């Protein structure tokens, strides 16, 4: 059972894991940003080398207990090296300031007023740790604005395609595969 302040694996987690296993190539170095409970990373450890990050200290502790090499940091701050596959199931819910709850679980859900605030910061920074020819798998919801997320990455010189989709309660979940434009 996960700590009450750590995001429990949900449909979005399972969809991102499924797509990651399909996309994984031999020898890939993998980074999972925002690993939460470590569910995805601990499964991928069986296939490849993986490093993870999370901002939530309870998540870091929990994922480490599953054997995941986790760094407590904001997004990819302080990481050196590059990765062929980068995964992120970000906080994506549009959240008004008055809706915010002052605890660590809030980091799992709160995407700012647009739902895209963390994604926008991630998009601006991820190129530094993306290996040549590497790909990003990003979980996004219809609540976040899938088209708008695409525009953010396109504007930064990336191409996108959809690699997974699942209907959930009142939202559609998709996994975007994002690569640098040739």
Ligand X SMILES: C[S@@+](CC[C@H](N)C(=O)[O-])C[C@H]1O[C@@H](n2cnc3c(N)ncnc32)[C@H](O)[C@@H]1O
The contact set with ligand X (CB under 6 A) reads: 7, 9, 12-13, 16, 33-37, 39-40, 53-56, 59, 74-75, 89-91, 107-108, 118
Pick 65 or 74: Cβ nearer ligand X: 74
CB of residue 14 to ligand X, shortest distance in Å: 9
Alpha helices in the chain (DSSP H): 11-23, 39-44, 57-65, 106-109, 117-125, 146-155
d(CA 86, CA 100): 28
Sheet holding 130-141, edge to edge: 69-72, 49-54, 29-33, 83-88, 130-141, 171-180, 158-168
| CA triple 103-96-169, angle to 5 deg | 85
Residue number with CB closer to ligand X (7 or 83): 7
Provide the minimum distance between the beta carbon of 63 and ligand X in the complex, in angstroms, as a whole number: 9
Shortest distance in whole angstroms from residue 147 CB to ligand X: 21
Supply the minimum distance, in Å, between the C-beta of residue 181 and ligand X.
26
Closer residue to ligand X, CB minimum distance, 61 or 159: 61
- Is 9 or 159 the residue whose CB approaches ligand X more closely? 9
CB of 182 to ligand X, least distance (A): 29
The three-state secondary structure class of 53 is: strand
For the chain, percent helix, then strand, then coil, each to nearest 5?
Answer: 30, 30, 35
Q: Which residue has the tokens 């296939």?
A: 47
Handedness of CA 37, 38, 42, 44 (dihedral sign): positive
Nearer residue to ligand X within complex by CB, 34 or 164: 34
């Amino acid at each position: 059972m996960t700590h009450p302040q750590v995001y429990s694996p949900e449909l979005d987690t399972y969809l991102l894991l499924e797509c990651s296993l399909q996309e994984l190539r031999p020898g890939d170095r993998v980074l999972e940003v925002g690993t939460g409970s470590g569910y995805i990373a601990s499964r991928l450890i069986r296939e490849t080398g993986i490093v993870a990050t999370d901002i939530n200290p309870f998540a870091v502790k929990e994922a480490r207990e599953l054997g995941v090499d986790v760094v407590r940091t904001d997004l990819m701050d302080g990481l050196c090296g590059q990765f062929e596959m980068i995964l992120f199931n970000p906080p994506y819910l549009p959240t008004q300031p008055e809706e915010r709850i002052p605890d660590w679980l809030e980091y799992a859900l709160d995407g700012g007023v647009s739902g895209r605030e963390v994604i926008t910061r991630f998009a601006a920074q991820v190129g530094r740790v993306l290996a040549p020819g590497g790909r990003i798998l990003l979980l996004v919801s219809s609540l976040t604005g899938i088209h708008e997320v695409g525009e953010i990455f396109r504007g930064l010189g990336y191409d996108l395609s959809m690699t997974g989709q699942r209907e959930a309660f009142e939202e559609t979940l998709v996994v975007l595969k994002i690569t640098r434009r040739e």
